[in-house]
């Protein structure tokens, strides 16, 4: 037996995580070095994969264009984020359908944690029907049974207490995980409970057949319910704190990894390849630190692009991988023809209507409160709840093979799809989810702002598509993003119908005393023309921030960019793991699905290691 001091010394020397994860902005930590894996982007996808690969002892470098803002309350306090803040935000320029630059910009996370450091934190699950469609589209192994366990594993739900339940929080215990790294819960105190109660009473007046349930993650029957957020209540400070991918998988003391290095403030320009298109490393640099002087770093086992829907496709294009026309226009020599790169861009086109709150209620914090905890009551609405028996007018059009073909043709002509067969396969997936599975086609969020009560809404599974491409070979130049919102007539019909119904919502009896003017914004009557509503929608619509699709996972012949193991077609040791791989929109906000996608991706990478 060893004397007590010897065993103490042994315990000390064998203690793991003597240093922990290295987060640095010094290029020397990476330049000319060799790692097992290089991951591009420290957002949701990159941090999930980096955490899992380094957890198995592989040396991993994550290169992130933005800074570490762990000290910034706008990032760590759930309620402190300023609306349209430039903090941790790429604020990408956005193009109208005619190519002219719009005054608005697109929000996207630009610091460690990626978009999870700035997002709306709304957490709920998609349905089995839509997740199973990934497999039907030609991606063996991607279905609810393989994905949902990962969704459960990442979540640590804190069930609401009695006070929270009395103020509108609901939970169905079976649809949550309880031992994961990402906290989900309701805020303390709850937000605008009286407004939420009024919405619940008024919703059935606007959408007949809509049932109000308790938990939005329970997608078997519930279409309107309270949601949870990726937050936790810190009783020490009395604040609701954000649980971002960085909080959960990088900064947390119990997630430290000697084998993980995160290089902040450095942008990845392009991928390095050997002659047989094996990815061997990346070229990176920093505009501010090194004035754009570029360095190289090498990967023995693989490169993973997790730069997001607007980041990964441009890196492929700067590396010579993509659509011939786009590469030529940007002045980049093509090495690999993959026409799907940057096509199929999709987000939900969101806008809102507002009613003026009667003076007597404007200072009532149970109805109006400016805290940044978005959408306390969310409704998911299908075509029957919008149109009743008239829904058949829309379903007959959607189901027609000639309509499908002309939709697909229009996407190809607009550069929003790689080919007709691929466009048909993607559109048909969404159409059968709408018609056969009767999944919701619109989302409506109850909100309030100083003096107004609002209905934020968007078509949930749009058929419209846009594109993103580089303008030049410059790694520091923003890409050209053309969302092409509401270009499909079905998306227009959904948006117009839901806009009208929100007027019925604010005119419903439960709001009688609280609402002073149901038609405050837009100043269009209930029965204004479709043209009036459409003109207003085209002016006010912006993305719901669930951008997907530009490096779609599907068969190559359909215009896919990655295969079912997330490998970029025509290359070796190169993968994409981020929102860009989802080929079609899902009916939940993206996080729950993407954590599961990234976690499953890490398992596939480890299986191939
Ligand atoms: C404002 C906003 C609100 C949202 N609200 C919600 C919500 O309430 N609920 C929900 O579920 N989802 C929400 N989302 C969506 C969700 O956050 C994203 O879908 C998800 O984070 C995408 O993960 P990702 O890995 O694809 O990209 P990200 O998490 O965005 O990470 C990409 C990372 O790559 C970095 N990067 C980009 N280019 C380069 C480069 N060339 N070199 C190095 N690094 C690079 C970026 O800086 C970023 O850190 C919201 C998003 C936004 C922007
Ligand atoms: C990155 O750059 C910012 C300034 O843009 C700086 O504040 C920060 O310290 C740098 N390093 C890291 C690791 O974030
Ligand atoms: C292009 O479209 C935008 C937005 O719809 C519009 O404001 C602008 O006038 C158009 N420009 C041209 C040249 O048609
Ligand atoms: C989902 O909601 C329905 C209706 O409210 C309920 O009957 C069912 O038990 C719930 N399922 C779970 C798993 O909680
Ligand atoms: C999750 O919540 C617990 C408190 O219940 C807290 O200690 C922990 O730091 C939180 N984790 C993250 C990743 O936010
Ligand atoms: C509401 O609060 C504002 C600012 O505190 C005050 O000016 C206003 O008079 C109040 N209105 C009512 C109806 O109490
Ligand atoms: C569209 O989907 C339906 C139902 O899944 C299927 O029967 C039909 O063959 C598909 N059509 C095309 C053109 O892919
Ligand atoms: C609007 O049209 C609907 C259906 O056509 C009709 O029932 C309703 O009375 C009209 N409302 C107004 C305010 O004109």
- Measured in angstroms, how far is the CA atom of residue 212 from the centroid of ligand 4? 12
Query: In whole angstroms, how far apart are CA 94 and each of 25, 102, 103, 362, 434?
Result: 30, 6, 8, 35, 29
50 is in an annotated binding site: no
- For ligand 1, is residue 589 a contact (CB within 6 Å)? yes
Helix (H, G, I), strand (E, B) or coil at 226: strand
- Among all bound ligands, the one having the nearest atom to the CA of 576 is 1
DSSP string, 120-134: --EE----HHHHHHH
Residues 354-371, mean pLDDT to the nearest whole number: 95
Q: What percent of the chain has pLDDT over 90?
A: 93
Which of 78, 185, 232, 233 should be mutated for ligand 5, with most atoms under 8 A from CB? 232
546 is catalytic: yes
- Dist. CA 222–CA 218, nearest whole Å: 6
pLDDT digits (tens, 9 = 90+) for 98-131: 999 999 999 999 999 999 999 999 999 999 999 9
Helices (H), 59-110: 73-76
What digits encode the pLDDT tens for the residues 318-333? 999 999 999 999 999 9
- Centroid of ligand 6 to alpha carbon of 504 (angstroms): 29
- The token pair at 148 is 């949902």
136 by DSSP, 3-state: which? helix
- Is 139 among the annotated ligand-binding positions? no
Instruction: Extract the tokens encoding 82.
Output: 């300023």
CA of 546 to the centre of ligand 5 (A): 25
CB atoms within 10 A of CB 135: 17
CA angle 127, 457, 175 (to 5 degrees): 25
- Retrieve residue 428's tokens: 């048909």
What is the band of 18 on the pLDDT scale with cuts at 50, 70, 90?
low
Averaged pLDDT for residues 231-260 = 97
C-alpha to C-alpha distance for 442 and 563, rounded to whole angstroms = 30
On whether 121 is known to bind a ligand per the annotation, the reply is yes
Annotated binding-site residue? 120? yes
Find the catalytic residue in 158, 266, 467, 546: 546
CA 96 / ligand 6 centre spacing (Å): 41
- Measure the N-to-C terminal CA separation of the chain; round to a whole number of Å: 41
Span from the CA of 237 to the centroid of ligand 5 (angstroms): 13
Measured between alpha carbons, how far is 65 from 495 in angstroms, rounded to an integer? Answer: 36
Taking residues 381-403, report their average pLDDT.
97
Asked if pLDDT for residue 438 goes beyond 70, the answer is: yes
State pTM to two decimals. Answer: 0.96
Arithmetic mean of pLDDT over the chain: 95
Is the pLDDT at 17 greater than 70, yes or no? Answer: no
Give mean pLDDT, residues 340-368: 97
Would strands 228-229 and 122-123 be described as parallel, antiparallel, or unpaired? antiparallel
In angstroms, how far is CA 530 from the centroid of its own chain? 30
Beta pairing partners, 542: 350
Known catalytic membership, residue 19: no
**Within the chain, what is the greatest distance between any pair of CA atoms?**
89
Stretch among 72-76, 156-160, 292-296 having the lowest mean pLDDT: 292-296
Residue whose CA is at the smallest distance from ligand 8 atom 10 = 527
Measured from the CA of 527, which atom of ligand 8 is nearest? 1
Q: Is 429 in the pocket of ligand 7 (CB under 6 A)?
A: no
Q: Is the CB of 220 under 6 A from ligand 3?
A: no
- Check whether 4 has a pLDDT greater than 70: no
| CA angle, residues 73, 75, 76, in degrees to nearest 5 | 65
Q: Whose CA is nearest to atom 7 of ligand 2?
A: 67
Which residue lies with its CA nearest to atom 8 of ligand 3? 100
Q: What is the DSSP string of 525-563?
A: -TT--HHHHHHHHHHH-EE-S--B-TT-BS-GGGT-SB-
**Ligand 4 atom at minimum distance from 218 CA:** 1
- The answer to whether the beta carbons of residues 241 and 77 sit under 8 Å apart is yes
Q: Which atom of ligand 3 is nearest to the CA of 99?
A: 1
Is ligand 4 within 6 A of the CB of residue 172? yes
Ligand index nearest the alpha carbon of residue 403: 7
Ligand nearest to the CA of 70: 2
Cβ of 42 less than 6 Å from ligand 1:
yes
C-alpha distances in Å from residue 173, one per residue of 124, 157, 217, 218, 233: 13, 9, 10, 9, 19
Residue 160 Rama label (left phi>0; alpha psi -120 to 50; beta): beta
CA of 92 to the centre of ligand 3 (A): 19
- Ligand nearest, relative to CA of residue 364: 6
- What integer pLDDT is reported at residue 290 of this predicted model? 67
131 annotated binding-site participant:
no
How confident is the model at residue 372, as a pLDDT? 84
Phi, psi of 8 (to 5 degrees): -65, -45
Helix (H, G, I), strand (E, B) or coil at 451: coil
Instruction: Give residue-wise pLDDT tens across range 479-517.
Output: 999 999 999 999 999 999 999 999 999 999 999 999 999
Domains of the chain: 22-121+244-345+547-608 (3.50.50.60), 387-438 (no CATH)
Bridge-based pairing of strands 294-305 and 574-576 is: parallel
Beta strands in 327-373 (DSSP E): 336-337, 349-357
Ligand 5: atom nearest CA of 183 is: 1
Closest protein CA for atom 9 of ligand 7: 428
Q: In b/e form, how buried is each residue of 185-221, taking b as 16+ CB within 10 angstroms?
A: bbbbebbbbbbbbbbbebbbbbbeebebbebbbbbee
Nearest to 596 by CA among 52, 186, 59: 52
Cα 377 to middle of ligand 2, angstroms: 37
* 428, 430, 583, best to mutate for ligand 7 pocket (most atoms within 8 Å of CB): 428
């Amino acid at each position: 037996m060893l004397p007590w001091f010897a065993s103490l010394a042994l315990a000390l020397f064998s203690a793991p995580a003597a240093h922990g994860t290295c987060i640095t902005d010094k290029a020397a930590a990476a330049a000319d070095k060799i790692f097992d894996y290089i991951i591009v982007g420290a957002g949701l996808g990159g941090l999930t994969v980096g955490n899992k690969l380094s957890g198995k002892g592989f040396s991993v470098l994550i290169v992130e264009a933005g800074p570490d803002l762990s000290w910034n309350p706008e990032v760590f306090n759930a309620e402190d984020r300023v609306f349209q803040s430039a903090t941790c935000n790429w604020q990408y320029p956005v193009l109208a359908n005619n190519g002219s630059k719009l005054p608005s910009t697109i929000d996207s996370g630009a610091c460690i944690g990626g978009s999870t450091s700035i997002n709306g934190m709304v957490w709920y699950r998609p349905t089995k029907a839509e997740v199973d469609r990934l497999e039907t589209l030609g991606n063996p192994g991607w279905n609810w049974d393989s994905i949902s366990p990962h969704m459960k594993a990442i979540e640590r739900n804190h069930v609401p207490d009695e006070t929270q339940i009395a103020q509108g929080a609901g939970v169905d215990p079976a649809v949550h995980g309880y031992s994961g790294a990402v906290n989900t819960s309701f805020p303390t105190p709850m937000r605008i409970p009286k407004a939420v109660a009024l919405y619940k009473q008024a919703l059935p007046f606007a959408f007949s057949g809509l049932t109000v349930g308790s938990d939005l993650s329970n997608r078997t029957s519930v279409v309107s319910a309270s949601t949870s957020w990726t937050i936790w209540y810190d009783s020490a400070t009395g604040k609701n704190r954000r649980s971002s991918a960085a909080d959960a998988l990088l900064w947390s003391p119990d997630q430290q990894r000697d084998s993980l290095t995160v290089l902040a403030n450095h942008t990845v320009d392009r991928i390095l390849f050997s002659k047989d298109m094996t990815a061997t490393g990346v070229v990176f640099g920093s505009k501010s630190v090194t004035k754009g002087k570029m360095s190289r770093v090498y990967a023995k086992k693989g490169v993973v692009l997790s730069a997001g829907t607007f980041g990964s496709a441009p890196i492929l294009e700067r590396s010579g991988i993509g659509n011939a026309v786009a590469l030529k226009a940007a002045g980049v020599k093509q090495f690999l023809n993959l026409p799907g790169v940057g096509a199929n861009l999709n987000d939900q086109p969101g806008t809102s209507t507002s009613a003026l709150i009667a003076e007597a209620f404007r200072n009532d914090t149970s109805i109006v409160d400016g805290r940044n905890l978005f959408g306390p009551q969310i409704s998911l609405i299908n075509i029957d709840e919008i149109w009743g028996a008239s829904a058949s007018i829309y379903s007959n059009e959607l189901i027609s093979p000639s309509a499908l073909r002309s939709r697909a043709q229009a996407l190809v002509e607009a550069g929003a799809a790689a080919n007709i067969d691929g466009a048909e396969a993607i559109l048909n997936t969404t159409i059968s989810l709408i018609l056969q599975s009767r999944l919701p086609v619109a989302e409506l969020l109850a909100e309030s702002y100083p003096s107004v009560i609002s209905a934020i809404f968007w078509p949930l599974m749009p058929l419209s598509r846009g594109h993103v491409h580089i303008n030049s070979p410059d790694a520091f130049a923003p890409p050209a993003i053309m969302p092409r919102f509401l270009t499909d007539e079905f998306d227009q019909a959904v948006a117009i119908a839901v806009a009208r119904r929100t007027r019925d919502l604010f005119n419903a009896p439960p709001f009688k005393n609280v609402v002073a003017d149901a038609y405050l914004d837009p100043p269009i009557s209930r029965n204004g023309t479709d043209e009036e509503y459409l003109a207003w929608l085209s002016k006010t619509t912006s993305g719901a921030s669930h951008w997907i699709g530009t490096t779609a996972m599907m068969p190559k012949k359909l215009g896919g960019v990655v295969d079912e193991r997330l490998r970029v077609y025509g290359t070796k040791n190169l993968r994409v793991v981020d929102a860009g791989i989802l080929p079609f929109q899902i009916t939940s906000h993206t996080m729950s699905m993407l954590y599961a996608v990234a976690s499953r991706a890490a398992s596939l990478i480890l299986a191939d290691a």
